Structure formats: structure tokens, C-alpha cells
Amino acid sequence: MSYILGFVVADGCIGVKRIRKKDGVKNYYFNITSKDKFHLEYIKKAMNAHQKIYSKRSGYAQRKDYYFIQIGHQEICKDLLRLGIYPRKTYNLNPIKVPAEYFPDFVRGFFDGDGTVYTLKVNGTPQIKADFISSSLSFIKFFNTQLCKNLDISEKTIHRELPRREDQKLIRYSIYFYIDDCEKLAKFMYGNNPKLYLPRKRQVFEKWKSIKRRHYIKKNYPSKIGWRLNEKALA
């Protein structure tokens, strides 16, 4: 459930279905969206849900296929509200506090929803890079502190990214992990032999283990600009 909570923080939302005029009681629903239909099937099974998974066109110029499931279970919706997932969470998401023993699962869920990982080359040297992204500065600040504390590394710089496309309206905030920190992150997220995860993202970390780096010499680059100018994805 901590994994699913993390996934909802990234790719879910909660809304008001209707308000009873008689007493003003609100009925809620929540959506979970993903471009990986099979993964929604796993989440659906884990929640013992019976709702249908629907498809929709989304993204820039409606070019991408996405899938979503909508659940109106009021007890679950109220649990999400108590945990800090509110309607229009894009604009009002605050720190989500998760018990320490479940935090790796929460991180993995958030990463599978709003994280990326890939291998590349910098000045001919293989590298790996992972990141988390959020539109909530207060959430990403708290998350950054908690995650880096668990990984026993220094807190990451939070990067502010302005909208780049017509379908992007909000400022987004990112934190980046490279090489050794990526390896710590992978161990933290997958070390408890989880059942719920996105295989395509975990496979990047697994592939990294097999990449030979015999002549690697660590260099201190003056800025992150060097990464952007020289990055080339590995085949």
C-alpha cells in the first residue's frame, strides 16, 4: 500500500464525485493513471479492485496512449485524504509522512510514477542518471531530505524547470542522482525483494551492473551543463 501511495502521489488524483444536498456529505473517487496497462493490472490486483481499466489519449498534441482506473471506495478515499492527498493535489501537495519501514516502497512507487533512469556517456565514459520530479516544492523538499538521509548522502540541489511545451503549465522541481548515488538508490528501492515495481525501470539499474567501466576516472565537472552537452544514450 505504501508503493501504491507513492504511485498515487505521482500519477494519481482524488476528486469529489458528488455532494449530497441534504447534509453536504461529499463522495470521493480517485484515479490512477499509467502508460503501462499491465502495471495498472498489478496495482488493481493488489488493491482487490474490480473496476475496469480505460484508455485515453494524453500528452502533447494528444499523441500518447494512457490507461487509468477510477475507484470510488470511500474508505480508501478518506484514507488518502488523511494521508495528505487532496483534490487538485498538483497545487496543494504537502509532505507525505510514511513510516520508516515502508519508506523504500513509497519511494519506489513515486519513482515508477514520476521518476526516470537511463544510461549515457559523458566524455566517452558510461554513466547512469536518475531523477524525481514534482510540481510541489514543499513536497520535493521534504522528500529530498528524507531520501538522502536514508541513503546516507548529501541532500540534492532542487532544480526549477519552467514549462517547455504547450501542454505543460506548471513549474516543476527535480532532484538528480548520479553513478554511486544511483546504485544506493537502487539498493534502497529494490533491496526488500518487492513484488510491485516497473520492470523497464528496474532493468536499467540491472543493466548498469553489467557495464564495464575499466578506465573510469572520476572527474569534478564545473557544472551540470557538461552533462547536457555531452550526454549520449548507450545502445
Residue that wins the pLDDT comparison between 155 and 164: 155
Q: 21-33, pLDDT tens digit by residue?
A: 666 678 888 888 8
CA 223 to CA 146: how far, in whole Å?
Answer: 25
CA 118 to CA 148: how far, in whole Å?
Answer: 20
Q: Cα–Cα distances in Å, from 110 out to 63, 72, 96?
A: 24, 22, 11
Domain 2-92 belongs to what topology? Endonuclease I-creI (3.10.28)
Domain with CATH 3.10.28.10 in the chain: 2-92, 109-233
According to the model, what pLDDT value does residue 21 have?
Answer: 66
The pTM (predicted TM-score) of the whole model is 0.82
According to the model, what pLDDT value does residue 231 have?
Answer: 46
Q: 76-125, pLDDT tens digit by residue?
A: 888 888 888 888 777 778 888 899 999 999 999 999 999 999 998 888 88
According to the model, what pLDDT value does residue 226 have?
Answer: 44
According to the model, what pLDDT value does residue 214 have?
Answer: 44
Question: What CATH superfamily classification does 109-233 receive?
Answer: Homing endonucleases (3.10.28.10)
Phi, psi of 35 (to 5 degrees): -85, -5
According to the model, what pLDDT value does residue 228 have?
Answer: 46
